[in-house]
Structure 1
């Protein structure tokens, strides 16, 4: 594929988003391919309206991009990239990395927290509109795809100057001291009891022993909602929150009992033993045995006593403020239109 010619918007659509086991164990409705295809179609229309001259859509085994383009009138060239064939989050990671190499000006990622994390793994400071179509949607936004596409097109074309309409998100770096391997998360890292990854999604809060959250907003659903109940922290506030869960029967004097929405349609009883604010670049050591979940999905098995260093940093994706980008583009596009007189 040639380097992007002219202002280009990239679209990453995860066919697996919104279909994990949490949808089966809660009151949430699975997100169908038809919903994602419709969002892609509307985002393409909006991207060209916002000033993009080209749109790239990540290919996947479900052929969401190809299906979205059937019968769609386009104002410019749209290309679906070759799928990488993993049929996992690695596809989104590799698509984002390729978009970076091609000089794409803005990326729309359709999915939940896990999809946004995969995109950030491929392109750490990606200019991003995270569009929520997953199960846990703490990091992405619930927005209409038409205006999301417009905002991305405006940033790619310069009508909405990136410096004016983006904010840099936090990111959590995870380093395994024994091997030197590393990974990232955008919302939270949790230590879960057990020794197997199994079903990657976590839906049972009783298995969680520690949480490090970069976002702990009270209106969230997911494991970060536990941290938000005792130490709320906004997505653009400095640092993170470290929470240790306890057992009320063992630590009656130290534990604090709460209830939190750990997945859609479900509240859980939780005992908090300790919580504290941690600053940027202040590492927290989580120690096995257990499994580390990154943004709600089991990823890394820790042996007994094996440490992992978890650090919240300020240099994550450049998140596009959709309203600000649309407003900036309209100001520049219509600056010669006379103001409408009152009365």
Structure 2
């Protein structure tokens, strides 16, 4: 892949986003390759219009990038990277790291919470437009890909000042025993009882034991919606929340020992959840999660904790630099078209 000079935008598209098991067990609609191809195509057009001279697209076995570029003519250089060959989230991690090393100024990531996490794993401080494509999205936004690409191009080219149009997202660090950082998440880390990674996506709510959330907004769908019902914390608020789930049934005397809530844990579905403990977290405050069980990161099973094994989880302020699309577009347009507005009645 060329490393020519000039403002560059990277596009990371996850071919697996929107195709997990939750699509079969909820009211969510699968996301086809055609939808992603169209979004990539429009993001390329927007990025060039926003000031990018190079656009680099992550490669994959589904050839989404090549199919998106078929018949598309735009000025500048547009290339598709060689696939990394994992056909997992590892591809998105490696693509983000590769784009960082090639001097890319901003990334548009197409996918759900898991894809955004993979990009942040590869490039923690990435200037990012998170474009929603997957399931139960909390971190990414529903934005038209054309203006998402434009915003990324404006930041990469300097037509919009990154310091003025980005905000640093929170991130959750998972520290394994011995103090080594094992993984990161952007929305939530959950302890799920059971020893198997399996299909990775969580659909059996009864197995969820504890949740640490950096974002727990009332209008979310997913595991973070449980934390939001108990103690909401917005994406731009300091800290996070720790929730320990309890029992949803009543004891022999008919009393409910835990606080009972209902939350939308999957599209088209509300569930009863017992809350045994709820605590607001400061930045850097560790929560120790103990096995046996599996830690899920942004809804996907990732780390197996054996019996007696532990991991410390903390919410921190140094995550991706998220681009405010509206602010970036407005800043670039003001620079491009410095009109003096007419005074009413003048």
TM bucket normalised to smaller:
over 0.9
Task: Give the CA deviation at 1:241.
Answer: 0.2
Q: 1:265: how far off?
A: 1.2
Aligned counterparts of 2:52 and 2:175: Cα–Cα separation in 1: 38
Distance 2:57 2:38 in 1: 14
Q: Give the count of matched residue pairs.
A: 342
> Is 1:339 aligned to 2:341, yes or no?
yes
Deviation for aligned residue 1:136: 1.9
Deviations 1:7-33 (A, max 9, x none): 100000000000000001111110000
In the TM superposition, residue 305 of structure 1 has moved relative to its aligned partner by: 1.9
Shift of 1:205: 1.2
In structure 1, the residue matched to 2:11 is 11
Q: Alignment partner of 2:12: what SS?
A: strand
Given candidates 273, 287, 297, the residue that maps to 2:300 is 297
Q: Give the TM-score of the pair, scaled to structure 2.
A: 0.96
Tell me how far apart the structure 1 counterparts of residues 235 and 121 of structure 2 sit (CA, whole Å).
18
1:98-137 matches, within 5 Å, as: 98-137=98-137
- Between the aligned partners of 1:277 and 1:181, the Cα distance in structure 2 is 22
Partner of 1:286: 289
Shift in Å, 1:250: 5.7
What SS class does the counterpart of residue 175 from structure 2 fall into? strand
How far apart are 1:75 and its partner, in Å? 2.1
Distance in 2 between residues matched to 1:293 and 1:48, nearest whole Å: 37
Partner of 1:166 in structure 2? 166
In the alignment, which residue of structure 2 is the partner of 1:268? 271
User: Are the aligned partners of 1:178 and 1:307 in contact in 2 as well (CA < 8 Å)?
Assistant: no
CA contact (8 A) 1:178 1:306 kept: no
Partner residue, 2:204: 204
The CA distance in 2 between the partners of 1:283 and 1:39, in whole Å, is 39
**1:338 CA drift (Å):** 4.0
What are the equivalent positions in structure 2 for 1:229-268 lying under 5 Å apart?
Answer: 229-248=229-248, 249=250, 252=255, 254-268=257-271
- Structure 1 residue 275, shift from structure 2 partner: 0.3
Structure 2 unaligned regions, length at least 5: none
SS of 2:25 mapped into structure 1: coil
Which residue is 1:216 aligned to?
A: 216
1:317 aligns with 2:320: yes
Q: Write out aligned runs for 1:89-100 (5 A).
A: 89-100=89-100
Structure 2 residue 193 is matched with structure 1 residue 190: no
Aligned-partner Cα distance in 2 for 1:39–1:270: 37
Per-residue deviation, 1:339: 2.7
Deviations 1:132-171 (A, max 9, x none): 0001210000000010011001000101100000000000
CA contact (8 A) 1:230 1:275 kept: yes
CA deviation digits over 1:76-98, x for unaligned, max 9? 21000000000000000000000
For residues 92-139 of structure 1, give each alpha carbon's deviation from its aligned partner in whole angstroms, at most 9, with x where no partner exists. 000000011011000000000000000000000000000000012100
- What is the rounded CA distance, in whole Å, between the counterparts of 1:42 and 1:74 in structure 2? 11
Shift of 1:2: 3.7
CA deviation after TM superposition for structure 1 residue 320, in Å: 0.1
The corresponding residue for 2:329 is 326
- SS of the counterpart of 1:212? strand
What's the TM-score once normalised by structure 1's chain length?
Answer: 0.97
Partner of 1:67: 67
Q: What is residue 140 of structure 2 aligned with on the other side?
A: 140
In structure 1, runs of 5+ residues without a counterpart are: none
CA distance in 2, matches of 1:183, 1:219: 26
